[in-house]
Structure 1
Amino acid sequence: MGPGESGGPAGRADGRGAGVGAAHRGQSAPRRAQHQGGRPPLSRNVARRGDAPHQPSVPAEPRDGGRQGSESRSVGEAQAGIQREIAVGSSSVESDQRVSSTGSGRSIDLRGDGVVHALDGIKVVDLAINYAGPTSATYLVDQGADVIKVERRIVGDTSRRAGNTPFLKLNSYAFMAINRGKRSITLDITKTAGQEIVRDLIRGADVLVENFRPGVMERLGIGYDTLSNVNPRLVYGSLTAFGAKGPYADKAGFDRLAQGLAGAMYRKDTEGRPLPNGIWVSDWGAPMLMAFGIMAALFARERTGRGQRVESSLMQAAMAMQFSQLTVVEDNPTPPREENPAGYNSYRCSDGVYLNIGVYMPHQFSNLCRALDLPHLAADPRITDPLRRHELDAEVNTIITALLETQPSQAWLDVLVEADVPCAPIVDRAQVPYEEQVLANEMMVTVDHPVVGRTHIVGTPVRLSETPSVPLRPAPTLGEHTDEILGELGYARERIADLREAEVI
């Protein structure tokens, strides 16, 4: 399992897929044709540098040594006013107009790409490192937010170095996947001048995301109380390993540790050693919770006018993935039993391909039995008897296992699909990006990275019909937008040069 958040020495929070063909019942269908000349092409929706260019806010005139004064009107307030004018009922915008009428309201095209996006005008400061924290901001950038990723000088975010090679040049697979579309500024936030730049960013921001250990941000002078005074409309997202309270609150933590403490590592190998899940449950689950919390806080801000703190943790994510399993009914006389319904399992076919069968409802069980020519089991009364269902499950699973080993996967897929039995092949991870179902729904998209070239990444996982997500752009190179971002804050070139000489940026 990979590392997660709230760690670091500085105390940072820190099978092939068989297609469903048209073969006759009970006969083996030809396996899906293999693509010639290597893997098949992915989506041609390629985003390149320069596509849908970012439209920066108008920078203030430099003053007071080249830095924008705090008395200027909050950009967040101006953006909020614009957001309230966005018409919900239409996303039609003339491509050559910044503002166009849409019936009773107005649609605002802040990016200048001819489309209204849900989070146009929202600015996010991403101070998080590693995986879960930065991915929280990824969900926001996908929907149109301007996300400024703050990175350490020289070395950048820790996720840049995970799996890094001379070819990748600090553009690791993970970093490119979860930082697409962001802008990068290098900044030493342990220095006073760096902390002042953070406060300048916050004056015009809507959201901040961080995953330091509790207390670190406060010691740096950029904690919630300080920054909410700088910008009362700020939504402050704080992600920790184990939660902000309790005996583990100030401990470093990563995905595996959070899984273990949350009871998610309940499976054991043949030697009795606890096994983690095959995916990073905490690292990839926590960002969904955080992004949801941030959106809820932004919605509440429209009514209250104020931002607030949003908290979650890696451990909370692992807990949330076990809603039913962790429920305790103290007075229940029947001990809970881990369910393993008949026909809800994976089965090996004669060609070596495994199929998942997802029979869960009684009528689906009956359909499965008839499809496998087991009519005597289709109406077995134990299927609806919770006290005896486990007996039937044990009997039927043995029969299904033996039956499916007699024919190839495609033949069984045709039989089961015809009988309306939920089923699908188990696909090797390396093959997933090339699956027809994946390509049809743009679950993978292609971007052209300026350093490593053509790269395939997971696409935006949420679709909105009226305010679509933005075309995905490559992740930034280290510090690519430092001067641009400081210029937007009103910093003069001379001041930027001084900050670079002082190793602040």
Structure 2
Amino acid sequence: MTGPLDGIQIIEIANVVAGPSAAVQLADQGADVIKIEPPSGDIIRKSSKTGLPPTFISCNRGKRSLTLDLKQAVAREILWKLIEKADVLIQNLRPGAMERLGFGGEQLQKRNPRLIYLSISGFGETGPYSKKRVYDPLVQAVSGFADIQGEGIHPKMIRTIIADKTTAVYSAQAVTAALYHREKTGHGQRIKVSMLDAMISLLWPEGMAPFTFIADNGVIPPPSHDKIFKTADGYITAGAVSDSEWKGMCEALKHPEWLNDPRFATQQLRNANKDIRYELMARAIETNTSDKWLTALDDNDVPCAPVLERAQLFENPQIINNEIISELEQPGVGRIRQARPAARFSGTPAKKPRPAPSLGEHNVEVLSEIGFTKEEIDNLLASKTIT
């Protein structure tokens, strides 16, 4: 069986992470993604001598690569041929770049009224920041994420490109929603997603809770604790919100006297006295091993988990049980690991992750599909329209 998006063809004109990661999620679900690259390739390829660095592989597995020098008129005509038969076009060039190439929204709709056209930008296509060159940290800074990480002391970045990856998830979901709308109406449409919009939306439910009620004037509560505790041989996380969980915590840590402490009698009081509460818990937890405490906490139905180093993921029994991480052969590199797609479909299970393409690997294959002869393809190679 094939994935739920089998039969959907996507043209991707995107670099780095946000656009390619959105497209790879759709490729994981069965779509045929043709990645259009300049002769020099996606800029992230340059971070490795092989042209296949880990981040590129993860964001481009299962795609086909076609090189086109879009500065040449013949290359733009090839792109039009692809767009006219495609279901989706995804691009994350700087605002205005597609229009300068002659592929503005109106032209695209005229040539293919059924096309779903997704444009991803950093801060949006208009406004004072719209022309900025954007990378993930800029969006973390403007969206409030650096502020909330700093806990009112010193702003901090999240140590992963969360803005790019969050934008990719929102974008992929938007594409499938637009495909469903097209199924009902026959009409394509344009979708605009900015990294700034995506990150503020992600922050909102609890991160912006102090600002939800306008009358509250944004009263920010004191910063919360990490809920990470050092044990005799590592780290665990554990928390108790409800009264029953607090009771279980006290019993697991062998401090039943905390149940009679008036400072911790209710959830509100426990929050008000969280500094001393966490100090007491930390002193208790550091006296024994992670396994001992996790067993005791589980026995008392207290939410808890080990804090794993990234290298430990491959040995964790739950991760192994879920078969989250798979291995495959990546030509030019060797054996690699990849995370399986998070969504598991019962009726249309997607294939396991496939290798990422080398630069221009599918030039002949893709051009042949849209009617080019071997002689014509040889001429395109000679003129460096493709490489």
Q: 1:162-195: CA deviations, max 9, x gaps? A: 2x14xxx111001111111111111111221111
User: Is residue 190 of structure 1 aligned with residue 71 of structure 2?
Assistant: yes
Residue aligning to 1:373: 254
Residue aligning to 2:27: 141
Q: Matches of residues 329-348 of structure 1 in structure 2 within 5 Å?
A: 329-332=213-216, 335-338=219-222, 340=224, 345-348=227-230
Choose from 19, 34, 37 the match for 1:151: 37
Instruction: Give the whole-Å Cα distance in 2 for the aligned partners of 1:192 and 1:402.
Output: 70
Residue aligning to 2:318: 437
Instruction: Give the whole-Å Cα distance in 2 for the aligned partners of 1:276 and 1:370.
Output: 37
How many residue pairs get matched? 382
Q: Matches of residues 20-31 of structure 1 in structure 2 within 5 Å?
A: none
Aligned-partner residue type, residue 133 of structure 1: G
Contact 1:124–1:205 at 8 Å: present in 2 too? yes
Aligned-partner residue type, residue 451 of structure 1: G
The TM-score, its normalising length taken from structure 2, stands at 0.93
Q: Percent sequence identity over matched residues?
A: 35
Choose from 141, 151, 155 the match for 1:274: 155
Instruction: Give the whole-Å Cα distance in 2 for the aligned partners of 1:478 and 1:335.
Output: 52
Aligned-partner residue type, residue 347 of structure 1: F
Choose from 122, 132, 135 the match for 2:8: 122
Secondary structure of 2:180 counterpart: helix
Instruction: Give the whole-Å Cα distance in 1 for the aligned partners of 2:63 and 2:242.
Output: 44
Higher relative contact order (CA 8 A, sep 6+): 1
User: Is residue 415 of structure 1 aligned with residue 296 of structure 2?
Assistant: yes
Would the alpha carbon gap of residues 229 and 268 (structure 1) be closer, same or farther in structure 2, given more than 3 Å must change? closer
In structure 1, runs of 5+ residues without a counterpart are: 1-114
Instruction: Give the whole-Å Cα distance in 1 for the aligned partners of 2:116 and 2:369.
Output: 21
Q: 1:34-69: CA deviations, max 9, x gaps? A: xxxxxxxxxxxxxxxxxxxxxxxxxxxxxxxxxxxx
Would the alpha carbon gap of residues 116 and 494 (structure 1) be closer, same or farther in structure 2, given more than 3 Å must change? same
Instruction: Give the whole-Å Cα distance in 2 for the aligned partners of 1:361 and 1:340.
Output: 17
Choose from 281, 286, 296 the match for 2:177: 296
Instruction: Give the whole-Å Cα distance in 2 for the aligned partners of 1:442 and 1:299.
Output: 30
Residue aligning to 1:228: 109
Choose from 123, 128, 143 the match for 1:262: 143
Instruction: Give the whole-Å Cα distance in 1 for the aligned partners of 2:4 and 2:142.
Output: 37
- Aligned-pair distance for 1:292? 0.5
Contact 1:432–1:438 at 8 Å: present in 2 too? yes
Deviates more, 1:181-190 or 1:309-318: 309-318
Instruction: Give the whole-Å Cα distance in 2 for the aligned partners of 1:356 and 1:195.
Output: 54
Residue aligning to 2:308: 427
Secondary structure of 2:117 counterpart: strand
Aligned-partner residue type, residue 147 of structure 1: V
Aligned-partner residue type, residue 224 of structure 2: N
Q: 1:268-287: CA deviations, max 9, x gaps? A: 779x6532012211011110
Aligned-partner residue type, residue 118 of structure 1: P
Secondary structure of 1:321 counterpart: helix
- Aligned-pair distance for 1:161? 1.8
Instruction: Give the whole-Å Cα distance in 1 for the aligned partners of 2:164 and 2:314.
Output: 21
- Aligned-pair distance for 1:122? 0.3
Aligned-partner residue type, residue 161 of structure 1: K
Deviates more, 1:319-328 or 1:183-192: 319-328
Instruction: Give the whole-Å Cα distance in 2 for the aligned partners of 1:348 and 1:503.
Output: 59
Secondary structure of 1:233 counterpart: coil
Choose from 446, 453, 465 the match for 2:334: 453
Would the alpha carbon gap of residues 226 and 334 (structure 1) be closer, same or farther in structure 2, given more than 3 Å must change? closer
In structure 2, runs of 5+ residues without a counterpart are: none
Secondary structure of 1:446 counterpart: strand
How big is the alpha-carbon RMSD for the aligned residues of Structure 1 and Structure 2?
2.1
Secondary structure of 2:248 counterpart: helix
- Aligned-pair distance for 1:377? 3.1
Q: 1:258-310: CA deviations, max 9, x gaps? A: 1001111126779x653201221101111000001001100111111111111
Instruction: Give the whole-Å Cα distance in 2 for the aligned partners of 1:228 and 1:268.
Output: 42
- Aligned-pair distance for 1:385? 5.4
Instruction: Give the whole-Å Cα distance in 1 for the aligned partners of 2:244 and 2:73.
Output: 67
Contact 1:367–1:378 at 8 Å: present in 2 too? no
Q: Matches of residues 476-487 of structure 1 in structure 2 within 5 Å?
A: 476-487=357-368
User: Is residue 202 of structure 1 aligned with residue 83 of structure 2?
Assistant: yes
- Aligned-pair distance for 1:136? 0.4
Instruction: Give the whole-Å Cα distance in 1 for the aligned partners of 2:145 and 2:70.
Output: 35
